[in-house]
Amino acid sequence: MARKNFGLKNFFFSFATVCLVIYIFKNINGSVDIMVAEDGNLEDVIESSGIVVKDEEVYTASLDGSVTYYFDDGTKIKEGQLVADLNTDTNSAQINKQIEEVQTAIDLKKSKDNSASSEKALSIEALSSYETEIQASILNNDLDAMYNIVGQVDNNSIETYSGGEYEQYDVKQLEDMKKSLMSSVSTNKVPYYSGMAGIITYKIDGLEDVYKFQDVLNITPSGTKEQEYTISDKKQSETVARDEKIYKIIRNFEYYIAVTVDNEKAKMFEENKYVKIRVLSDGSDHELWGYIKKINYGSESSVLILYFDDYFYKIYDKRYVNLQIITDIHDGLKISSAAITKKDGLDGVYVEDASNIIKFFPVEILGQNGDVTIVSSGEYSGENERRIININDKSYSTIKTFDKVILEPDKVYEGQIAE
At the topology level of CATH, where does 44-51+205-232+250-327 sit?
Answer: Elongation Factor Tu (Ef-tu); domain 3 (2.40.30)
The architecture that CATH gives domain 30-39+330-415 is Beta Barrel (2.40)
**In this structure, are strands 245-262 and 301-308 parallel, antiparallel, or unpaired?**
antiparallel
Mean pLDDT for the stretch of residues 50-71: 92
> CATH 2.40.420.20: which residues of the chain?
30-39+330-415
* Phi, psi for 67 (deg, rounded to 5): -115, 135
**Which residues in 383-408 are b (16+ Cβ under 10 Å) and which e?**
eeeebbbebeeeebebbeeebbbbee
> CATH 2.40.30: which residues of the chain?
44-51+205-232+250-327
Higher pLDDT, residue 185 or 328: 328
Beta strands in 22-95 (DSSP E): 34-36, 38-60, 66-69, 76-77, 82-87
pLDDT for residue 152? 59
Q: How confident is the model at residue 117 (pLDDT cuts 50, 70, 90)?
A: very low
Q: Picking from 91-100, 101-110, 282-291, which range would have the lowest pLDDT averaged per residue?
A: 91-100
pLDDT for residue 215? 96
Identify whether the C-beta of residue 257 lies closer than 8 Å to the C-beta of residue 52. Answer: yes
Q: How confident is the model at residue 15 (pLDDT cuts 50, 70, 90)?
A: low
Q: How would you class 23 by CB atoms within 10 Å of its CB: exposed for 0-12, middle for 13-18, buried for 19 or more?
A: exposed
pLDDT for residue 379? 94
Q: What are the angstrom distances between the C-alpha of 404 and each of 84, 342, 373, 418?
A: 67, 18, 15, 12
Identify whether the C-beta of residue 83 lies closer than 8 Å to the C-beta of residue 284. Answer: no
| Strand, coil or helix: 33 | coil
Q: How would you class 257 by CB atoms within 10 Å of its CB: exposed for 0-12, middle for 13-18, buried for 19 or more?
A: buried
For residues 151 and 199, what is the distance between their CA atoms, to the nearest angstrom? 50
Q: Give the percent of the chain with pLDDT over 70.
A: 77
Q: How confident is the model at residue 175 (pLDDT cuts 50, 70, 90)?
A: confident
For residues 239 and 246, what is the distance between their CA atoms, to the nearest angstrom? 10
Q: Is the pLDDT of residue 125 over 70?
A: no
Out of 180-184, 250-254, 342-346, give the one with best mean pLDDT.
342-346
pTM value surpassing 0.75: no
Q: What is the largest CA-CA distance in the chain?
A: 163
Q: Is the pLDDT of residue 370 over 70?
A: yes
Q: What are the angstrom distances between the C-alpha of 218 and each of 212, 291, 308?
A: 10, 16, 17
- Give the residues across from 368 on adjacent strands: 373
pLDDT for residue 185? 63
Q: Is the pLDDT of residue 346 over 90?
A: yes
- Give the residues across from 404 on adjacent strands: 36, 352
Q: How confident is the model at residue 306 (pLDDT cuts 50, 70, 90)?
A: very high
**In this structure, are strands 34-36 and 232-233 parallel, antiparallel, or unpaired?**
unpaired
Identify whether the C-beta of residue 322 lies closer than 8 Å to the C-beta of residue 312. Answer: no
Per-residue pLDDT reduced to its tens digit, 64-84: 888 889 999 999 999 999 999
Identify whether the C-beta of residue 354 lies closer than 8 Å to the C-beta of residue 404. Answer: no
Report DSSP state, residue 91.
Answer: -
Q: What's the distance, Cα to Cα, between the start and end of the chain in Å?
A: 43
Beta strands in 154-311 (DSSP E): 189-193, 198-201, 203-204, 232-233, 245-262, 274-281, 284-297, 301-308
For residues 150 and 148, what is the distance between their CA atoms, to the nearest angstrom? 5
Q: How confident is the model at residue 281 (pLDDT cuts 50, 70, 90)?
A: confident
Per-residue pLDDT reduced to its tens digit, 201-255: 999 999 999 999 999 999 999 999 999 999 999 988 878 998 999 999 999 889 9
For residues 175 and 182, what is the distance between their CA atoms, to the nearest angstrom? 11
Beta strands in 91-151 (DSSP E): none
Report DSSP state, residue 210.
Answer: T
pLDDT for residue 121? 45
pLDDT for residue 116? 47
* Phi, psi for 61 (deg, rounded to 5): -75, 135
